[in-house]
Structure 1
Amino acid sequence: MRSIEISGRAIGDNTDGYTIAEIGHNHGGSVEQAVKLFQAAAAAGASAVKLQKRDNKSLFTQAMFDEPYTSANSYGPTYGEHREALEFGQAEYEYLRSVAGELGVDFFSTAFDVASVDFLAELGLPALKIASADITNTPLLAHAAKTGLPLIVSTGGASLDDVRRACETVLPINPQLALLQCTAIYPAAPDDLHLSVITAYREEFPEVVIGFSGHDLGPELSFVAYALGARVIEKHFTLDHAGKGSDHHFSLDPAQFTALTEGLSRTRAALGSPRKTLGSREAVAVRKMGKKLVAAHALPAGHVLTEADFACKSPGDGLKPYQLGELLGCRLARPVAADQDFALDLLDAR
């Protein structure tokens, strides 16, 4: 049975959705803002809050690190300085770990390089996220798998062969794997999401927990993802859609994230059991609107029953219409009045 465990919480086919508030760098490099985001995400019912961790000096070529970055979202004159301005170090991570603990939410991060994997693992965080961009980075996947931590891997921009290769890299080392269907478009329109891939993943990888990392606007299509079998749901999170940064505009705000967590709970409740049964709460309506077999007209004792002798009428508290065949051709042991229920004890046993 597919399942992973994060901080003692099982995540699998028979569980609620595990919701990740992807804060990324929406904190703008401010620990105080990160705390506010953690608090708002916890209040909205998030299972986990997540940041992103990069060792920028080793991650980028020197040319890319030094490349001018003049975007309105820039926090520095070069791309490397921009990224450095948004990074938290050991002290900030330790503090935020304690904040998350007090709030009762899991806290982990996306590792973009080997040094970041080691940093996060040594910090004792309960899981690791690997971004879509590294679905083909088998050395990083293998290194992350060797930590023994549950891995959550997004699959945006990947082919099925890429996803297979990633699974073949991770699973022999570490069975604690969740794959998230994802589309690397920001924001993604509904027809970009291809949620049916969730079903394909479940068939292709029966031992792996499947999820959804959504860059679509709003929470609604995550309910569809859950219904299809996604059990890890990741959505970007912000306090201000107009905030400085490239992720705020497609992130969920606290009210939307609350709608996500509450809606996922309703979705699970609505899915219910695959066994089709008559529920006790249906009985009143079934009696009121259902049909039973009654006499179409008065019938004398000794009469041999034909189809013309029967009517199907409400309430449905007697013999069902499908039992008509059991009565046809039988002889009545005693008279039956019009509209009287038919019952087997009315029949002549001879």
Structure 2
Amino acid sequence: MTIGGRRVADDTEAYVIAEIGHNHEGSLERAEELFRQAAAAGAHAAKLQKRDNRKVFTQDMYDQPYLGRNSYGPTYGAHREALEFGRAEYEHLAQLAADLGIHFFATAFDTASVDFLMDLDLPAIKIASGDLTNTPLLSYAAKAGKPMIISTGGASLEEVRLACRTILPINDQLAVLQCTAVYPAPPEMLHLNVIQAFRREFPSVVIGFSGHDQGPDLSSVSYGLGARVIEKHFTLDQTRPGSDHHFSLSPAELSTLVTALNRAHRALGSEVKTPLVEEAPALFKMGKKVVAAYDLPAGHVLRESDLAFKSPGDGLKPYRLNELIGRSLRQPVAVDEPLSPELTILAESIHAS
């Protein structure tokens, strides 16, 4: 797939998304700093979340009391509205992202939010795990014609198949992310091997990892398994109130993540096993060649007991010893001197003459 002109495929580095969500806490100034820090850490995209709260929640859920450390309002609806950016903020952040050289897009939780984001011409659209089974939203978002990224937390394989069957006939620019909807998710709940299963099941799409685990280290494992889109929550302060801060990456951790993923890309290299020029000095020192075990006269018919295998490894490799056994030496060979087929003739040739 291609996001904002950046190609994402098996042979590329990971595409890293700094998932800010609502860690800006409704502050445009804090959102700006999150964008700057994400860019400085090497992320390729900064991502928010967009909801039309009146349409997303039932009236009862919107009006329910929501008190506690993580609350930004007395009811859940007031809390959500306090965290929601409007058009002016999105336009401002889109320009900031362009100035910083990173992509900016958001997760859409409803069709009105899809329209809002597409009217801004953002380069991609994300659908959260909770909407993986919301096929009307998947279809609507697919028709927008932008690259789509979907998370799969809490889903069965059949539900992921259904989502792909809904999107792909409309839009083939798709990334499917393995995800665990636990916050934070301990390592034993990540099931990173699902990445390989997704690669087999959906060979035409990009596979990725949306990590709710703490820290950056396991994302490199996901890259090694084939994930090419890596999404991690991002914050300026892990101690802040809010449901996401505590498991989000700090700026330093995000920088560590990007560096580690780039190293993993370089380390994977080629599928072809072949000796490297750079390995030659070590193999010269440590490798073995076939030499005479002791002084051998001309005409001697070689036996395995006449051969020794010693360093440096600049001669006939030991696995070629059968090319020597049973052949007669053309000339004397001193102990430790290298042996080669060119120094021998067939023993039968001697008897025949």
Alpha-carbon deviation of 1:72? 1.1
Alpha-carbon deviation of 1:308? 1.2
Alpha-carbon deviation of 1:343? 2.0
Which residue in 2 is equivalent to 1:45? 42
Which residue in 2 is equivalent to 1:23? 20
Alignment of 1:320-339 (within 5 A): 320-339=317-336
Which residue in 1 is equivalent to 2:280? 283
Alignment of 1:1-350 (within 5 A): 4-348=1-345, 350=349
Stretch moving more, 127-136 or 338-347: 338-347
Structure 2 contact 146–173 (Cα < 8 Å) conserved? yes
Alpha-carbon deviation of 1:99? 0.3
Query: 2:87 & 2:343 partners in 1: Cα distance?
Result: 85
RMSD value, Cα: 0.7
Alpha-carbon deviation of 1:223? 0.5
Q: Please give the secondary structure, in 1, of the residue aligned with 2:264.
A: helix
Q: Please give the secondary structure, in 2, of the residue aligned with 1:12.
A: coil
Q: Which runs of 5+ in 2 are unaligned?
A: none
Q: Which runs of 5+ in 1 are unaligned?
A: none
Query: 1:141 & 1:71 partners in 2: Cα distance?
Result: 34
Alpha-carbon deviation of 1:63? 1.1
Percent identity between the two aligned chains: 65
Alpha-carbon deviation of 1:345? 2.3
Alpha-carbon deviation of 1:272? 1.1
Query: 1:220 & 1:247 partners in 2: Cα distance?
Result: 19
Give TM-score scaled by structure 2 length. Answer: 0.97
Q: What amino acid is aligned across from residue 26 of structure 1 in structure 2?
A: N
Q: Please give the secondary structure, in 2, of the residue aligned with 1:148.
A: coil
Alpha-carbon deviation of 1:61? 1.0
Alpha-carbon deviation of 1:173? 0.3
Alpha-carbon deviation of 1:348? 2.9
Give TM-score scaled by structure 1 length. Answer: 0.98
Deviant stretches of 4+, over 2 Å: none
Alpha-carbon deviation of 1:227? 0.2
Query: 2:10 & 2:299 partners in 1: Cα distance?
Result: 59
Structure 2 contact 323–341 (Cα < 8 Å) conserved? no
Query: 1:214 & 1:286 partners in 2: Cα distance?
Result: 41
Query: 1:275 & 1:93 partners in 2: Cα distance?
Result: 46
Cα shift readout 1:196-217 (whole Å, capped 9, x = no counterpart) = 0000000000101000000001
Alpha-carbon deviation of 1:224? 0.5
Q: What amino acid is aligned across from residue 315 of structure 2 in structure 1?
A: G
Cα shift readout 1:178-226 (whole Å, capped 9, x = no counterpart) = 0000000000000010000000000000101000000001011000000
